[in-house]
Amino acid sequence: MLEVGTKAPDFTLSDKDGNAVSLSDFRGKKVILYFYPKDNTPGCSRQAQGFAALNAELEGKNAVVIGISKDSAASHKKFAQKYELPFLLLSDPELQAIQAYGVWQEKKLYGKVSMGVVRSTYVIDENGVIEKAMPKVKPDSNAVDVLAYLAGE
């Protein structure tokens, strides 16, 4: 994970419609950048639904939500439509942002070791500096925890 107070690495990735989106496009707003393992899996679906449910409140705090996984743009499009996700999902099959943000890590599942995305969230301030790093977040409470942080709780 990157440290709080460091400049957030810029990136340019494709959204679900193939449009190029850069982190620097959002200067002047807070960015809730969350990394998740895979579209349409139970935990990732609950996490996305949590952010969708709180999207209006997060936008009210001058924040935008961006989800990143290594899934394809086509996969993101189906995922966003299925759950009516009102925020950006970016595709990172080359692991450009995933590795830059330190969330591509060794994982253990049932004794098997593999590399994968560790579910993590960053809050990036209006000037592109990391103000909060949340490693190994829980899918069911991630959005609520971020909103509580932005509300100063």
- Rounded distance, CA 14 to CA 108, Å? 29
**Do the beta carbons of residue 4 and residue 132 sit within 8 Å?**
yes
Tokens linked to 96: 């450009």
The verdict on whether 134 is a catalytic residue reads no
Kindly state the tokens that stand for 141: 């409470």
Query: Tokens 């993101």 identify what position?
Result: 76
Which is catalytic among the residues 44, 54, 58, 123?
A: 44
- Residue 12 identity (one-letter amino acid): T
- By annotation, the residues acting in catalysis are 44
